[in-house]
Amino acid sequence: MLKSINIGAELFHNLIESNSFYLDKTGFIKTIFGDNTSKVMLITRPRRFGKTLTLSTFYDFLALDPENPGDVSRQEKWFKDTSIFKDKDFCSKYMGKFPVIFVSFKTIVHDNFNDAYNQFAALIYRLALQFEYLAASKALTDRQKEQYANLINYEKLSDRSDKSFLTGSLQTLSSLLQSHHKVKPILLIDEYDVPLAKAAYHGYYDEMINLISPFYNDTLKTNSHLERAVLTGCLRAAKESIFTGLNNLLICSVLDSGDDDISTGIGFTPEESAKVLAYYGLENHMEVAQRNYDGYFFGSKHMYCPWDVMNFCNDNYRKVGMENKEITAGNYWINTSGNEIIEEFMGYIEPEDVDLMQDLLDGNSIVAEVRAALCYGDLKNHNINDFWTLLLYSGYLTFDPQYKAASKNEFRLYIPNEEIKDCFRSKIMDFYANDNVMRDSTTNLLKGLFTGDAQGVEDNLNELLAKYVSIRDFAVNAPKENYYHGFMNGLLVNGKTLIQEQKSNFESGNGYIDLIIKSKRNRGIIVILELKQTDDENEDKVLIAQDAVEQIIHKKYADPHIKRNDIKAVFSYGICFCKKECSVVGKKLK
């Protein structure tokens, strides 16, 4: 009987105890804690690649039972069928042998520093309560018990007049755990950078950095009581921003091409993905999975997103062998979490960078500088290279490891697969649909169309052409008129408050109207649009636009509307597009 797929489960022992499917990645435990000697390691990966599950697996393997030190029966039950369990020497040295502090900062997402600070304090408070046995420990002095009492005193932790209780909390906790167990603890921090990312977006970065920097300094740099620390997150923050002076930090980002075992430790390799699909009888649909979920590179290794592979299997394995049941590739990644900073950047994209984004959507690659050590505080400058870096680290882009860069920080970037292309396209559409500048420009455009202001229409269109990234049919041989047709359709969709009716390729007179719209506010006004396109920048766009108006008249597109008594006015417009410019000619026909 096939094992169930526990979508969204992030704790290793929950997967095992529920008899859910788990692809054995336990060899990564030895890679990090046996083969690697770094005191502090930071591993950055895009969301939904299994960072939390990875740290949970570390925790379940390493953590001792405080009530029964030396008892590893829990680990034996959980790990008996895994590859790491076969390494008896490693297990005897590491399995169930350490006090482990495991904390996630993914919940510190508030829009102001006060709430974020209080959430931070509450998180540490709840974490400290997991070690209540320290309060009665015979191995601790009265002074140390007082220190522990401060850790479970929320009022002290949340008191901003003395931040030292909070910034030094994990150093204090690790010291107490070492004194009690006579073993240095291991620290696991998930989503280490979320507080800074949210602070940068909401405008309280300086306040948060003044909290986070001493916190990490006390926890990682000056903490002699710590055995090892492993942090995960999405972005690689610059050392100078929060890891000042931390010389024993090993960073393993998506760009690092060092140890292959580290590169493949989080995520599914192509071979692992094929194994999962075969287990659920979907081996004949590997090409579908590859087209939609493949394409990432970590270091020099090719990787799939586990979240996508498991969701694809969950949606389709029951269909195998059933007639009239189509195997479909859903988009599972887009709604997993927000990327507010990316959306904010969209409002600052320059026209030349819009063209690069269009290249990406067309399936091409771009060459750009990536700021590998990104400082969140710099994001407010809206540097385009920070934007490409955000897209790379968050999973919207990947890089070509074979590209021979002209400079150290230059990379060839591209969208990894069809699913992410759809996500990228959707993010752009959502942004422009909700962008105030876009809505205002569209409103002005429509006002011009419904009043016969051809020059105003031309000015607004040219402004929008420079700013707008079209979401179009990507067929290589598609006529370029389709591009501008889609562009205009997309614009007009944003004008629902002003448009009563909108039709495309509508049969009228002796042909088909490109676009026809009816005013909602001023009933009885019709606008007919005929769109033309030229690649020749030296060609007279005005003459072509005039010909478009003549086409409307000659083919009698407007005649059925002119004859109607309920139609008060009919405006016709010929628009000629050339790349990111256009010319507009208008004529009132009724």
Separation between Cα atoms, residue 28 and residue 45, nearest integer Å: 15
Burial class, 376, CB count within 10 angstroms (exposed 0-12 / middle 13-18 / buried 19+) = buried
> pLDDT of 37-72, one tens digit each?
889 999 999 988 999 999 999 999 999 999 998 899
Please answer whether residues 539 and 529 qualify as being in contact, where contact means their C-beta atoms are separated by less than 8 angstroms: no
Q: What is the pLDDT of residue 347?
A: 63
The pTM for the full model equals 0.80
- Portions of the chain given CATH number 3.40.50: 34-63+98-252
What percent of the chain has pLDDT above 70? 89
pLDDT bin (cut points 50, 70, 90) of residue 222 is confident
- Portions of the chain given CATH number 3.40.1350: 435-588
CATH number of the structural domain 34-63+98-252: 3.40.50
Which of helix, strand or coil describes residue 502?
strand
Strands (E) located in 409-463: 410-414
Q: For all residues of the chain together, what is the average pLDDT?
A: 88
Kindly state the DSSP code that residue 220 receives in the 8-state scheme. I
Architecture of the 435-588 domain: 3-Layer(aba) Sandwich (3.40)
**What torsion do the CA atoms of 404, 47, 276, 20 make, to the nearest 10 degrees?**
160
Determine if residue 367 is left, alpha or beta; phi over 0 gives left, psi from -120 to 50 gives alpha, anything else beta: beta
Question: How many C-beta neighbours within 10 Å does residue 565 have?
Answer: 6
pLDDT bin (cut points 50, 70, 90) of residue 341 is low
pLDDT bin (cut points 50, 70, 90) of residue 505 is confident
pLDDT bin (cut points 50, 70, 90) of residue 12 is very high
Q: Is the pLDDT of residue 435 over 70?
A: no
Closest CA to 212 of 357, 113, 288, 283: 113
> pLDDT of 141-180, one tens digit each?
999 999 999 999 999 999 999 999 999 999 999 999 999 9
- Per residue, the 3-state secondary structure of 87-115, as one string, reads CHHHHHHHCCCECEEEEECCCCCCCCHHH
The residue-averaged pLDDT of 330-338 equals: 76
Which of helix, strand or coil describes residue 4?
strand
pLDDT bin (cut points 50, 70, 90) of residue 279 is very high
The first and second tokens of residue 326, run together, are: 């189509």
Q: Is the pLDDT of residue 503 over 90?
A: no
pLDDT bin (cut points 50, 70, 90) of residue 579 is confident
Separation between Cα atoms, residue 181 and residue 194, nearest integer Å: 31
Q: Is the pLDDT of residue 581 over 90?
A: no
Q: Is the pLDDT of residue 472 over 80?
A: no
Q: What is the pLDDT of residue 497?
A: 78
Separation between Cα atoms, residue 499 and residue 494, nearest integer Å: 9
Beta sheet of 525-533, edge-to-edge order = 499-508, 511-519, 525-533, 569-578, 581-588
Q: Is the pLDDT of residue 434 over 70?
A: no
pLDDT bin (cut points 50, 70, 90) of residue 194 is very high
Stretch among 148-157, 270-279, 556-565 having the lowest mean pLDDT: 556-565
pLDDT bin (cut points 50, 70, 90) of residue 471 is very low
Q: What is the pLDDT of residue 235?
A: 84
